Amino acid sequence: MQKFLTLTLGEQLAEMAQKYPDDNMIKYTDRDYERTWKQFDEECEIIARGFLALGLKKGDKISIWATNVPAWLLTFFGSAKMGGILVTVNTSYKLFELDYQLKQSDSNALVLIDGFKGTSYIDIINRLCPQLAGSEPGKLDNPAMPELRVIIYAGEGDCPAGMVKWDDLYTLAEKVPYEEYAALRDSCNCHEVINFQYTSGTTGFPKGVMLTHYNILNNGLTIGDGMKFTREDKLCICVPFFHCFGMVLAILACLTHGTPFVPIDMFNPKKVMDALESEKCTAVHGVPTMFIAMLEHPDFDRYDFSRMRTGIMAGSPCPVKTMQDVNEKMNMNEVTIVFGQTESSPGVTMTLADESIERRCTTVGKAFPGVECKVVDIETGETLPPNQIGEFCARGYNIMKGYYKMPEATALAIDADGWLHFGDLAVCDEEGYYKVTGRLKDMIIRGGENIYPKELEECLYRFDKVKDVQVIGVPSKKYGEEICACIIPKDDVELTEEEVKEYYKQNLAHHKIPSYVWFMSEFPMTASGKIQKVVLREKAIEKYALQSAGSIETA
């Protein structure tokens, strides 16, 4: 019988600090940051008091825009301890996307670093908040974002004007009596929302998935159990913290099992393999493309993977061959798969470390304890018997509270009986093992990143040379899917592929830039005038000779 935790994240961290005070919790290989469970717990309490000193209060939304740096972890747990709601921001976001998310989430504070992959976060926030440079730190007044009051700089340079320097939180904390903070901390409840994860969901622009302590902590517990995690293991985390993959499947799986971890700021195959060897890691998580990058690295054979045992391959459909190669060549003979989506915290099914290689390579496992799963008929909604393909649905402790300020979208995702409809096509065998066979939605999953075509289409509709656009996903051997933008230019204008990609580059994250730009005069339509995206995809596969990429077997 599954035993569920009824602690908050702050309480769980404090429990680990009491249980394993001197055990190493976290160690970076590229910077001077290493903490025991006790040291980290105490530091998070200081950060929580620092947030309170800035006027932040329980229920406030604290956005974090950073790679896997120590400040991300400290913001996550510091926010949790004072009752804040962490709003995770994709590191690849540009101005258009950040503007939308800060406003939609009603963010009260933003913690940021200098930037990522050539994008200056400092420039973007100053463009969105032109009053920032002239503001007193912590007292931003921007009519366009009335809720946003505090910008905290966790970068490596001099603190920009109008921002609060991260290091100042440690001294600001002294202004808040410990007793006052402790009373607030102890008022937190495990069923309160702790995190907004933004996802494209089923329609339209990104939605804020509201997740509770109970949702994500117990999901992490189940996942750690599935990998047989103990304090003797060590997980290398090279997937982004801002995804549920990094936050729940990695950080919280460790938090619930006293397992130390080695974060990687941003993925680099050599850097990850260096860490696996030097830190004697027993586990590593990644999307298929990350494992492929390591397996194909010219120095791969020079590394010692003898300590490796387990990890998770997830985020996008997992090629069977890649699973087999990781199992055999990286000594990860207990590598697992977790299937789910952000709205389910995120895991719903998992293959277990001690199951057969065939099960772990060709299925996405069985339902989590405490989670019901089923496959339903697409037309009638009736539950289907084994070995029949239909839509995958799940319900249980892990289902989100809903989308923030979007009740109609919530009702479309979760039916009256509490079943979350995934939009994925799946089949279940007689023994309860699931296999995902496709998607009802036209969401594109590129290397673990969820990309919703409507957002890309809406962006390009603003380009004055574009008459119409349809964005589709096409098969990719490397990423699972790539983006193809099918464009009808305006009459009598010259439009090039380079112009289109540059426009996207200026407005959207790099992973949303189409790999293929296809100019055409018209789209295939039904008799009723509906654009046939399925036909577009078929034609694109033929045009770009992607037939072999579409035939790769996945779990």
Q: pLDDT tens, 88-143?
A: 999 989 999 999 999 999 999 999 999 999 999 999 999 999 999 999 999 999 99
Reported as a single tens digit per residue, the pLDDT across 144-157 is 999 999 999 999 99
- The correct CATH number of 32-190 out of 3.40.50.980, 3.40.50.720, 3.40.630.30, 3.30.450.20 is 3.40.50.980
Give the pLDDT score at 127.
Answer: 97
Q: Please determine whether the domains at 32-190 and 445-551 fall in the same fold group of CATH.
A: no
| Cβ contact 171:182 at 8 Å | no
Residue 466 has pLDDT above 50, yes or no: yes
Q: What is the band of 310 on the pLDDT scale with cuts at 50, 70, 90?
A: very high
d(CA 48, CA 81): 6
**In whole angstroms, what is the distance from residue 91 CA to residue 242 CA?**
8
User: What's the per-residue H, E or C state across 464-527?
Assistant: CCEEEEEEEEEEECCCEEEEEEEEEECCCCCCCHHHHHHHHHHHCCHHHCCCEEEECCCCCECC
Q: What's the count of helices (H) and strands (E) in the chain, helices before strands? A: 18, 28
Mean of per-residue pLDDT scores for the chain: 93
Q: Per-residue confidence at 531, pLDDT binned at 50, 70, 90?
A: confident
Is the pLDDT confidence value at 474 over 90? yes
Higher local confidence (pLDDT), 201 or 281: 281
CA-to-CA separations, 551 to 86, 319, 411, 520, 537, in angstroms, rounded: 40, 10, 35, 27, 14
Query: Where residue 46 falls among pLDDT bands split at 50, 70, 90?
Result: very high
Q: Which amino acid is at 407?
A: P
Domain locations in the chain as residue ranges? 32-190, 207-439, 445-551
Per-residue b/e over 127-145, b at no fewer than 16 CB within 10 Å?
Answer: ebbeebeebebbebebeeb
pLDDT at 86: 98
Q: Tokens in use for 32? A: 């001077």
Residues 6+ apart with CB under 8 A from 276: 236, 284, 303, 305, 307, 308
Q: Is residue 134 helix, strand or coil?
A: helix
Burial class of residue 347, CB neighbours in 10 A (0-12, 13-18, 19+): buried
- 235 pLDDT band (50/70/90 cuts)? very high
Which CATH code is given to the segment(s) 445-551? 3.30.300.30
pTM of this prediction? Answer: 0.85
CATH of 207-439, one of 3.40.50.12780, 3.30.413.10, 3.40.50.1820, 3.40.50.150: 3.40.50.12780
User: Tokens standing for 283?
Assistant: 């586990």
